Amino acid sequence: MVPTGLARWQAALGASIPFAAHLPEGLVPALLERPVAVPGSHPLDWPGKQALAVHDSAPLCAETPEALLDEAVTSAAAMFVRNNGGIPPEPADPDAWSFTVDGEVQAPLRLTVAELAARFRVVTLQLQLECGGNGRAFHMPAARGNPWRQGAISNGAWTGVRLRDVLLAAGLKDSAAYTGHYGADPHLSGSSQPAISRGMRIAKAMDETTLLAFRLNGEPIPHLHGAPLRLVVPGWPGSLSQKWLTRIWVRDRPHDGPGMGGTSYRIPARPIEPGQAHDGADFVELESMPVRSILSSHAHGARLPAGTRTLDLRGAAWAGDLTVRRMEVSRDFGASWQDMDFAEPANRHAWQRWTGQVDLPADGYYEIWYRATDSEGRTQPLHATNWNPQGYAANPLGRSGLLIG
Ligand SMILES: Nc1nc2c(c(=O)[nH]1)N[C@H]1C(S)=C(S)[C@@H](COP(=O)(O)O)O[C@H]1N2
Ligand SMILES: [Mo]
């Protein structure tokens, strides 16, 4: 059956749609539905940063277009930015920056960055840092918050010490159950309450890939990304990766700072009606992020020369605490899928790069659909599922529109 609106769509695209017969009923071509530029955004103008798509200036939040994520290790310039408050002043002596560990520990600690590096084993790991709201733009109806598409992800090479080693040095009491994180950034209202203060179960804090980081890609961390000291809690919502870190409070119960409880970083255990008002009382914490993939070799909306008959595709995929066990691409609206090659992660919690080739039969409009499957067999769905008021964990498959000719 010919989908309704096909002639209109082809006119709007200025191209024929060779695989139009496979367009699922009711699906609008991605290039017509999703403008190339993120609606309402403007390019970031910030020293040392690329022209990311700014969702908000106060607090500063900017998304990385997928095509700027083509490096195996994300450069600092390409990293998305997510702030909940202001940006604290830069300290004169970064090595003298100190933070405390207190609460349910035998011996509270105050350590400077220099002491951390001297006392504990220093490691470098490639780590996914993904905003809990990545993919929010795909929830229908629109959910509250920055409408990230898929660009609130980075995979930097972080250098620091394991939080685990520092917690062991402080000596966890049997009552230690949770962390609470504090940073130096001011609340936008000027009040003394933290802009954000989240925490995690102690098991994640004790994971070998949870770092107290002071370097990124072999350089000092850029101030915007949390220098001189930040947490990197890979695979879980980025909000746990406290920037400008000043304190870790070890608690005997779940933390209750701003960003905890209710509908914050929490998702329905059983789906609710999309758009429904909800207090989130019976929601569950969003911990390991869902499987997701990006296409970085071709930007959504790119035009390639007439006669192009093969595409060399590249991208990345990741799955929170899990790994990716399959990466597939379709160029005919999901009628057929082709397996892509993908690499093992550089270390646990690093993303996985993928590559592959598809053939195109003619000039015209195509959509490259891309989806990953995690190590427990969950595949990215066609549409976002499990709608929730703050729009977390939407991971529909990717759809990039390309024009040939
Ligand atoms: N101190 C502090 N840390 C913070 C935040 C913040 O607002 N203040 N935002 C968090 C959120 S929601 C995310 S997704 C990541 C983003 O890290 P980035 O800006 O370095 O990419 O930082 C987290 N750490
Ligand atoms: Mo975030």
Q: Which atom of ligand 1 is nearest to the CA of 79?
A: 21
Q: From ligand 1's centre to the CA of 203, what distance in Å?
A: 21
Which one of 56, 74, 83, 246 would you pick to mutate in the ligand 1 pocket, going by the greatest count of ligand atoms within 8 A of its CB? 83
Query: Per-residue pLDDT tens for 97-137?
Result: 999 999 999 999 999 999 999 999 999 999 999 999 999 99
The pLDDT of 350-375, averaged and rounded, is 98
Domains and CATH numbers, the chain: 4-53+290-404 (2.60.40.650), 76-285 (3.90.420.10)
Q: Residue 223: nearest ligand to its CA?
A: 1
Q: Is 81 in the pocket of ligand 1 (CB under 6 A)?
A: yes
- Residues 350 and 72: beta-carbon distance below 8 Å: no
Mean pLDDT of 392-403: 98
CB 226 near ligand 1, within 6 Å? yes
Of all protein residues, the one whose alpha carbon is nearest to atom 15 of ligand 1 is 238
Q: Is 34 in the pocket of ligand 1 (CB under 6 A)?
A: no
Q: Write down the pTM of the prediction.
A: 0.97
* Distance (Å, whole) CA 159 – CA 264: 29
> Separation of 238 CA from ligand 2 center, angstroms?
5
Which numbered ligand comes closest to the C-alpha of 195?
A: 1
**284-306 pLDDT per residue, tens:** 999 999 999 999 999 999 999 99
The dihedral over CA atoms of 49, 54, 58, 61, expressed in degrees to the nearest 10, equals -70
The CB of 83 under 6 Å from ligand 1? The reply is: yes
- Average model confidence (pLDDT) for the chain? 97
Nearest atom (ligand 1) to Cα of 132:
14
For ligand 1, is residue 172 a contact (CB within 6 Å)? Answer: no
Query: Which residue's CA lies nearest to atom 21 of ligand 1?
Result: 81
Q: What is the mean pLDDT of residues 182-191?
A: 96
Structure tokens at 177: 């159950």
Q: How far is the CA of 12 from the centre of ligand 1 (A)?
A: 39
60 lines ligand 1 (CB under 6 A): no
Q: Check pLDDT > 90 for residue 1.
A: no
How many whole angstroms from 109 Cα to the centroid of ligand 2? 28
Mean pLDDT of 49-61: 97
Structure tokens at 5: 């609106």
Q: Is 239 in the pocket of ligand 1 (CB under 6 A)?
A: yes
Determine the residue of 82, 129, 392 to mutate for testing ligand 1's pocket, defined as the one with the most ligand atoms within 8 A of the Cβ atom: 82
Give the residue whose CA is nearest to atom 20 of ligand 1: 225
State in Å: Cα 364 to ligand 2 middle. 37
pLDDT at 359: 98
243 Cβ inside 6 Å of ligand 1: yes
What confidence tier does 4 reach under pLDDT thresholds 50, 70, 90?
Answer: low
The pLDDT assigned to 59 comes to 97
Ligand nearest to the Cα of 84, by number: 1
- Distance separating alpha carbons of residues 308 and 310, to the nearest angstrom: 6
Query: What is the number of the ligand 1 atom nearest to the C-alpha of 226?
Result: 20
